[in-house]
Amino acid sequence: MTDEENTEVVQLAPGLAAALAPAESNDTRGRRGPDPLAGLRSWVPRTRLGHMVMNGEITTYEQAVDSGFPIREVEIVDALLPDLTDDVLGVNMIQRMTDSGRRVRFNVLCVVGNGDGYVGLAVCKGKEVSSAIRKAIDKAKLNLIPVMRGNGSWESSEGPGNSVPFKVTGRSGSTRITLMPAPAGKGLVIGDYGRRVLTLAGITDVWARSAGQTRTTINFARATFNALVELNRTKITDGDRERLNITKGRKMK
């Protein structure tokens, strides 16, 4: 057998394949902010799951979750889900008086998602805005959850949908957000920060009811995110899963 016959083509994760592609395909002119593929080009895995992704043994995020190994490296998420979009929901300045003077820090709320069944949210603090945003984005990527979607509205006809399959409530502090199924075309009937979280989660239609102190940005976004977490904790029978056309995570084509 020749050397060409012995050579096996290793299938890499989408993000790694894009990062290791020839230079002409990595043109990032016009991009705002740092290149997300730069970290993958110099990535040296430190965990067993990271080595499996680098070697091509795991090529999808679903395989990484099913492996049972914790995802502790941001590069793993960048390699398996390169289409993640981040959105900074709020930047608050925190001032504290100390013996040495006034100390200023920044509190950043960030959400990431692929718009198709995965979303993560995180809050981080830092001395500088740019470093706090970078830290919040990385933490949100490590806090990804699959989003359960379905068609649970009595106003809808049968078939798949991008709403929540049933009513669910999330809490954060005194804020309570209740998400309810809505028919296709209704849109996101919820406050701005909840709408931005649900958009990155891949939900397009929902009714919402709020209670408590809803003017708090962090609690409002966290309550919406916690409602999506509660969806995953609900036990569903196979019959209801089929009747409500429930999907969890990405919709594979």
* pLDDT(154) > 90: no
DSSP-derived secondary structure letter, 163: B
Domain ranges of the chain: 8-80, 85-146, 148-248
* pLDDT(37) > 90: no
Average pLDDT (36-57) is 89
Specify the CATH architecture of the domain 85-146: 2-Layer Sandwich (3.30)
Specify the CATH architecture of the domain 148-248: 2-Layer Sandwich (3.30)
Measured over the CA atoms of residue 55, residue 58, residue 59 and residue 65, the dihedral's sign is negative
* pLDDT(253) > 60: no
> Rounded to an integer, what distance in angstroms lies between the CA atom of residue 21 and that of residue 3?
23
The per-residue pLDDT for 1 is 46
Measured from the Cβ of residue 133, the count of other Cβ atoms closer than 10 Å reads: 20
The tokens 């395989």 sit on which residue?
63
- Give the mean pLDDT of the chain: 87
DSSP string for residues in 127-156: SSHHHHHHHHHHHHHTT-EEPEEB---TTS
List pLDDT tens digits, range 73-131: 999 999 999 999 999 999 998 888 777 778 889 999 999 999 999 999 999 999 999 99
For the chain, what is the total number of helices (H) and then of strands (E)? 10, 10
* pLDDT(31) > 80: no
The per-residue pLDDT for 6 is 46
Among 138, 151, 152, 119, CA closest to 228: 119
The per-residue pLDDT for 36 is 65
| Distances 85 to 71, 95, 203, 206 between C-alpha atoms, Å | 19, 30, 15, 21
- Burial of 191 by CB count in 10 Å (0-12 exposed, 13-18 middle, 19+ buried)? middle
Average pLDDT (224-249) is 91
Confidence of residue 141 (pLDDT cuts 50, 70, 90): very high
| Distances 1 to 6, 8, 9, 74 between C-alpha atoms, Å | 7, 13, 16, 41
Topology alike, domains 85-146 and 148-248 = no
C-beta of residue 124 within 8 angstroms of C-beta of residue 212: no
The per-residue pLDDT for 157 is 76
Measured over the CA atoms of residue 60, residue 48, residue 122 and residue 77, the dihedral's sign is negative
Average pLDDT (205-222) is 92
Structure tokens belonging to residue 118: 């995965």
DSSP element (H, E) containing 19: helix 14-19
C-beta of residue 149 within 8 angstroms of C-beta of residue 163: yes
Average pLDDT (18-41) is 65
Residues near 156 by beta carbon (within 8 Å), at least 6 away in sequence: 163, 181, 183, 184
* pLDDT(7) > 50: no
> Rounded to an integer, what distance in angstroms lies between the CA atom of residue 204 and that of residue 169?
18
pTM, rounded to two decimals:
0.87
